[in-house]
Amino acid sequence: MKIRDALKREERRKAAKDRVNDVSVGNGVLDAIGNEDDDASSNSDGEEDHLCLNDDINVTVSNGDNCETNNEEESSNLTNCDIAGREVEQNNDTQETPISNENNLHSQIEGTSSSTNDMAVMLNSSSIKRLDNLLTNIRCPMLDFTFFSPDDVAKILPDDRLSLSRSVLVTLNQCVNFWTQCLSASGITEARLCWNEIDGNEIDELIMLITKHQGSRISLMQSDLSMLRTLPVFESLLHQRVSLNEGMDRYTLEDNIDVDSISQLLPASIKQQFLIEKMEQKELLADLGIQSLSEAQVLQRFVLEEFPRLPQAQKEIALQTILTKWSTLHSSTDFVSKLKECPLVKRQRGANDIVFVKANELMDPRNDFLKDIFDSSPEMFPAEEMHSQDWLDILSVIGLNNNVDKHIFLQCARKVEEEGNASKGFTLLQYYSEHFGEFYDDTQDFHRKLSDVTCVPAEYGGELALYKFQDIAVPRDRHLVFKILPVVPEAISPPQVMFSSLGISSPPSIGVVLKQVRELTEEDDSLDHWDYKFGSAEEVFSKIFFFLQENYEKLSPRVKENLQVRAIVPVGTTLVKSSRLFFRLNKDLSPFFYEVPRAFGAYDRLLRDLGVRESPHVRDYAVSLSELHKDLGDGRLNTNELNSVIEVLNLLAEREDESSSRPTIFAPDFDGRLTNVNVLLQNDAPWLVQGNRLSNVVRLVHPKLSSSLCKQLGIDLLSLRVNEYLVKGFKPRILPDKGNLSRIKNNLRSNKFIDVVSMLITENKFSSKKTTSLRQFDLMHVDHLNTQFVLRKKDGSAGVDVTQNSTGTLFFVESNTIFLVEHKFPVGVTSELVVATCVCDYFQVSRGHSAALSALLASDHASADDIGLILGSFGKGDENELRRGEPGFPVSGADLKLIELKPLRIFQKGEIVAVRLDKSSPNAVYALVLGGGGGNNVSRIRLRIGNNMKETELISTEIYSFRKGTRIEKEQDRELDFVDLKEFNLIKDESESAHELVLESPSEKIPGPVGRADILKAVQDLLSSANMSLNDDVEKVMDSNLKFKEAVDHKDVYIESLLREGKVLSEKLNNGVVDAFLCPITRDIMKDPVICADGHTYDRHAIELWLQSNRRSPKTNQQLPSRDLIPNHAIRNAIETMSGSVDAVKAFSSVYGLK
């Protein structure tokens, strides 16, 4: 058996020798040396002997006769023993390495050359033995020298250490990339290399054995290193062995990096790319192209890149690492650049939510301006720990907005716009004014965007709000626009050089200034309470007049015409039309004509263009009266206006000859209304007026106009133009005399009576009839009388009937006959009184004497002298109006309606006002202003009260002025909070004299026409002069007190009125509910009132039934556009309220007996 085994081994050795002889030493070398001896190789027929060949030789030699390969092609190649050679580079470095099977190797190479002996020494070294052991453990293919002669071995063996390493690398590379599998002895396919058969330290040792010799690096070529990269022998941070050719970059960490801490930041996929850099492999990894990264590079490439996708815990670790290592990290410009692009800054979103954003999306809270603007937006600043000083220092480097550039300023402006916060707008504009140079923009893009943002705080109507730049005015133009445009405060006004860029128009356009003029002059009393705190009315209008004077030629003809007819020139507290304004007046005709104030002297060119003249002419007086008539309408002149009009009429009459043609003239009628003089009549026949039988067609001139003035103005006498006639065709039916008419007729014809009437006629300036005609007078009692009044034309031709009531008269004088409807006289009216009245009318004597004459007619002749003593107490019916406005005389009823309390207005010299002589007395009298004064503060005013009284001074709060008559028409529809004058006896019947008004009316009070609103306004004015104001609570208390005082003062009238209302309400309740609460269909009180499409209210149930069969309105019978029903909550609430109050009202009625 031994002989047979020896023969087999010899055959195998020869076969191998033959194959090797075909391989040139220069073209191929052994990659490794077998470490098994002949005996070991023959232990088992199935055991493989390994051959480590170059990269072109992959052979597995079995102890048997078969050659197995990992596939049929390889098997075929190996069977045929086709070994391709490759030239191996030689290395001068002759390193000694021992081989694994030392004895066997020595026995085979005895007798060889010296170079072969050196190789033998190398192969017998401990490092080679260890290499052989490690390669064997991982099942690396190797050749067994048993099959080769010493000479063949010498040819096969590599001749130096470099070649050996290369051979090992080639073999391992082939096994990794090509010969990846093999068949086990049991026929199972297995991995060619078994790396798990050795531990990590052994793998590191294998690497070192391949790449180092005796502590020095082996000079491997780049191709050798490429083969080494394919081997899975490098340890990653996951402690896995990986190759360097797995489609990803590999890195190592610098020595100063804490691997454990940095590992916490990296996901598993990233850790796989990092190799654990071991000191002995450092140079090798560098040669293999493995980049060693600094901590900044690791964070930049792998942490910041993946930061948005990292778990929250890893994000916190990364942020803490950046904070603690910032002193070294900030030196890396690439790292800092990456930080700027990474959303790693905490930002608050909502109450408890935190998100991460880039640093340049947030503001630095250390910037006071940004902190003020975004104080209500914590989401604009770093949140949580990033609000600390250390973090803010870092964030400011990576883009946290600390400096306010154009972009940030626009953000701030839009934030102000969003919040609508004027205070922040003030801060914004103040910053802009202080740093406007930093915002200069050649392209104007910044300012164009800024001008579209509503962020400019400006004052309008006393309130500060936000506007756009293009919608505001600057302080220097304030006087020109404050009623039209909001004005930015002086402290934050933009520099003038920026006006154009921001869209600010300065000076404003002509249209804006014209609107300002219109607003300032819209109300006649706009200057009475001048509350503009930046200048007086004269200063404002001076600025406006300067602007208009400079731009007058640019105005259209229509605008110029409107300016000429509009009251735009302030004189004191009055706005005056240019037609009433003159550069020179010989006398004060205010408030009718005015002289140009000195403050406006510089604008004479404009004023002349508007129509202001040097002095008035005759036609100016007439035209001004006509204009006043247009302004006044049906309103009454106040006492100042009345006196001025009369003065103008006197001037007009004096200079009428200067005018070639007489214009239409207007004069005040009896009620103080301006009327065409052609329709006015002098009241020389008061008996025609006092019976109230004349229609309103008859207009009487005011009694203050003298007879001579009326004559100059062409105003006719009433008695000459109006006559009473019996109605045509009417014949009075004579009734029998009851006996008293004869006695009256005798007294009427008596000399004593005639003498008394003659005396009265001599006092009358109008009558021209003779009293002797009384001797022919006759008296007749008739059934009734029908008379009419005819107003003849100026030329005496037939006129118009001005009768108001043809059946109202109870007596009439025709020729010498007095007709009396005696049986219709009211109780208390005697025939004597009626006859006396007829005598007064006939002889044009005031009816005030009728009582005395009646007594004469009813008496005997002996008592005639005693009765005549009382004649002097009559005949003064017009005294009240004649003395209207006279200092010391009681205020007339007409002026009581115009009285007002304005303590802060300007009082003009010569103005008539009203005062109370005694604070405890309610009576008011006229007073004359001797020295002008007043204005925005309470002041003392010099007055004269009565012709015999000395001058006195009163505080303006004690002086009552009169509203302009021109305001009556404009306010006649306004519900004034005034007390009814007649209810408190402030106005007596016209038949009562002025003295009776004062003496018999102790309840006459000034506060009557001065309403609560006026009193509160006066208090507000007083407080405003002291820079104080009423708060709402105090004002409400005062108003309540005033109401209470009025209620107490007038309790009787109030109770009487309440009783009347209760009676009326009781009657309504007794008669049924008002129609508004009844359904038009059912006529029952509505339970669910709804509004139908016709606009009327019905009960829902009734109208729904109606609409089921009808398309027309049940009330109007018109086609309904729809069937929609809308609840009428107002009516419903009223019905509910009424229902709850019915019992209370009925109880009230029952208590007071109002059934």
pLDDT confidence of residue 1018: 61
Average pLDDT rounded to a whole number, residues 568-585:
86
End-to-end CA distance of the chain: 158
pLDDT confidence of residue 89: 35
d(CA 1093, CA 1081): 15
Quick one: which of 616, 562, 563 has its CA closest to 592?
616
pLDDT confidence of residue 1118: 83
Do residues 484 and 458 lie in contact, with contact meaning Cβ atoms separated by under 8 Å? Answer: no
Q: How do beta strands 817-820 and 778-782 pair?
A: parallel
For residue 591, whether the previous peptide bond is cis, meaning omega lies within 30 degrees of 0, is yes
pLDDT confidence of residue 875: 40
pLDDT confidence of residue 415: 92
Average pLDDT rounded to a whole number, residues 630-649:
84
Total number of residues shown for the chain: 1155
For residue 1051, give the 3-state DSSP assignment. Answer: helix
Vertex 1029 angle, CA 1027 and 1035, to 5°? 165
What tokens appear for 162 in the block? 């470099």
Which of 581-590, 834-843, 1018-1027, 1098-1107 has the weakest average pLDDT?
1018-1027
pLDDT band at 111 (very low <50, low <70, confident <90, very high): very low
pLDDT confidence of residue 396: 92
d(CA 242, CA 233): 6
Helix 850-858 × helix 751-763 angle, to 10°: 170
Do residues 62 and 68 lie in contact, with contact meaning Cβ atoms separated by under 8 Å? Answer: yes
- pLDDT tens string 1140-1149: 666 555 555 5
Higher pLDDT, 990 or 1042: 1042
Longest distance between any two alpha carbons in the chain, whole Å: 208
d(CA 886, CA 867): 33
d(CA 38, CA 9): 9
Q: From the CB of residue 1120, how many other CB atoms can be counted at a distance below 10 Å?
A: 16
Distances 264 to 237, 320, 324, 339, 734 between C-alpha atoms, Å: 11, 12, 15, 19, 137
pLDDT confidence of residue 517: 92
Do residues 914 and 926 lie in contact, with contact meaning Cβ atoms separated by under 8 Å? Answer: yes
Do residues 29 and 44 lie in contact, with contact meaning Cβ atoms separated by under 8 Å? Answer: no
Higher pLDDT, 404 or 247: 404
Which of 387-396, 399-408, 1000-1009, 1023-1032 has the weakest average pLDDT?
1000-1009
Helix 850-858 × helix 831-842 angle, to 10°: 130
Residue 970 has pLDDT above 60, yes or no: no
pLDDT confidence of residue 1017: 62
Q: What is the DSSP string of 939-989?
A: -EEEEE-STTSPEEEEEGGG-BEE--THHHHHHTTS---PPPTGGGTSS--
Do residues 457 and 425 lie in contact, with contact meaning Cβ atoms separated by under 8 Å? Answer: yes
* 8-state DSSP, 248: S
Do residues 360 and 298 lie in contact, with contact meaning Cβ atoms separated by under 8 Å? Answer: no
Residue 989's identity, in one-letter code, is: D
Residue 307 has pLDDT above 90, yes or no: no
d(CA 844, CA 768): 9
The structure tokens 């009369």 sit at 646
Quick one: which of 698, 643, 697, 696 has its CA closest to 668?
643
Mean pLDDT of the chain: 75
pLDDT confidence of residue 872: 45
Q: How much of the chain, in percent, has pLDDT values that exceed 70?
A: 73
d(CA 988, CA 1000): 10
Residue 551 has pLDDT above 90, yes or no: yes
pLDDT band at 792 (very low <50, low <70, confident <90, very high): confident
Do residues 862 and 701 lie in contact, with contact meaning Cβ atoms separated by under 8 Å? Answer: no
Residue 311 has pLDDT above 80, yes or no: yes
Residue 105 has pLDDT above 60, yes or no: no
pLDDT confidence of residue 382: 93
- Global pTM reads 0.51
pLDDT band at 7 (very low <50, low <70, confident <90, very high): low
Phi, psi for residue 668 in degrees, rounded to 5: -75, 135
For residue 290, give the 3-state DSSP assignment. Answer: coil
- pLDDT tens string 1099-1138: 998 888 888 878 888 888 888 888 888 888 878 888 877 7
pLDDT confidence of residue 30: 34
Residue 675 has pLDDT above 60, yes or no: yes
Q: How do beta strands 722-726 and 716-717 pair?
A: unpaired
Do residues 59 and 70 lie in contact, with contact meaning Cβ atoms separated by under 8 Å? Answer: no
Strands (E) in 390-488, as ranges, are: 456-460, 463-467
pLDDT confidence of residue 594: 87
For residue 486, whether the previous peptide bond is cis, meaning omega lies within 30 degrees of 0, is no
pLDDT confidence of residue 895: 84
Quick one: which of 305, 912, 245 has its CA closest to 644?
912
Burial 778-801 (b: 16+ CB within 10 A, else e): ebbbbeebbbbbebeeeeeeebee
Which of 357-371, 655-669, 1013-1027 has the weakest average pLDDT?
1013-1027
What tokens appear for 791 in the block? 């107003």
pLDDT confidence of residue 1032: 58
Residue 1072: left (phi > 0), alpha (psi -120 to 50), or beta?
left
No. of helices (H) and no. of strands (E), the chain = 47, 42
Average pLDDT rounded to a whole number, residues 100-119:
43
Q: From the CB of residue 942, how many other CB atoms can be counted at a distance below 10 Å?
A: 16
Residue 645 has pLDDT above 70, yes or no: yes
**CA 1143 remoteness from chain centre:** 50
- pLDDT tens string 45-98: 333 333 343 333 333 333 333 333 333 333 333 323 333 333 333 333 333 333
Q: From the CB of residue 21, how many other CB atoms can be counted at a distance below 10 Å?
A: 12
* 8-state DSSP, 299: I
- pLDDT tens string 318-341: 899 899 989 888 899 998 999 999
Do residues 99 and 124 lie in contact, with contact meaning Cβ atoms separated by under 8 Å? Answer: yes
Quick one: which of 560, 441, 551 has its CA closest to 498?
441
Residue 222 has pLDDT above 80, yes or no: yes
- pLDDT tens string 750-781: 888 888 887 777 655 445 577 778 888 888 88
d(CA 161, CA 93): 7
Residue 310 has pLDDT above 50, yes or no: yes
For residue 881, give the 3-state DSSP assignment. Answer: helix
pLDDT band at 936 (very low <50, low <70, confident <90, very high): low
d(CA 891, CA 1008): 13
pLDDT confidence of residue 473: 93
- pLDDT tens string 227-269: 988 899 898 888 889 888 877 888 888 888 888 888 887 877 7
**CA 1074 remoteness from chain centre:** 46
What tokens appear for 1102 in the block? 């009734």
